[in-house]
Structure 1
Amino acid sequence: MISAILNTLTNLFSKPATRNYPFEKEPKDDNYRGLIVFDEPKCIWCLQCEKVCPPGAILFTQNIENGAYTYNYNPYLCIYCAECVRACPDKASALSQCDGLIPPAGKNQNVNDYWFKIEEEAIASKEEYKKMKALKKSQGGDDAKTETA
Structure 2
Amino acid sequence: MLTSFLKALTNLFAKPQTIDYPVTLIEKDKDYRGLIEYGEEECIYCLKCEKACPPGAILFVPVENPPKNEKNKSGLKYHYNPHLCIYCHECVRACPKPDEALWQSNKKPPIGIKDDRVNDSWFELERLKRD
Aligned AA for 2:87? Answer: Y
User: What is the CA distance between 1:92 and its match in structure 2?
Assistant: 5.8
RMSD over aligned Cα, in angstroms?
A: 3.1
Name 1:97's counterpart in structure 2.
104
Name which one, 1 or 2, has greater alpha-carbon Rg.
1
Aligned residues with identical type, % of pairs:
48
Which of structures 1 and 2 has the larger relative contact order (alpha carbons within 8 angstroms, sep 6+)? Answer: 2
2:97 and 2:128 map into 1 onto residues whose CA distance is: 27
1:78 to 85, 88, 105: 85
Equivalent residues, number: 109
Quick check: which one's helix share is greater?
A: 1
User: What is the CA distance between 1:44 and its match in structure 2?
Assistant: 0.4
Tell me, yes or no, if the aligned pair for 2:92 and 2:98 is still in contact at 8 Å. Answer: no
1:29 and 1:92 map into 2 onto residues whose CA distance is: 18
Distance 1:93 1:87, change over 3 A: farther
Q: Extract structure 1 runs of 4+ deviating beyond 4 A.
A: 24-31
Q: Could you tell me the TM-score, scaled by structure 2's length?
A: 0.66
Aligned AA for 2:41? Answer: P
Tell me, yes or no, if the aligned pair for 2:95 and 2:102 is still in contact at 8 Å. Answer: yes
Give the SS at the match of 1:72.
strand
Q: Which runs of 5+ in 2 are unaligned?
A: 1-19, 67-73
Q: Which whole-Å deviations, capped at 9, do the CAs of 1:98-117 have from their partners, x for residues lacking one?
A: 11112235443622222111
Q: Which whole-Å deviations, capped at 9, do the CAs of 1:14-35 have from their partners, x for residues lacking one?
A: xxxx966xxx977646763111
Distance 1:85 1:116, change over 3 A: same
2:128 to 115, 121, 129: 121
Tell me, yes or no, if the aligned pair for 1:85 and 1:93 is still in contact at 8 Å. Answer: no
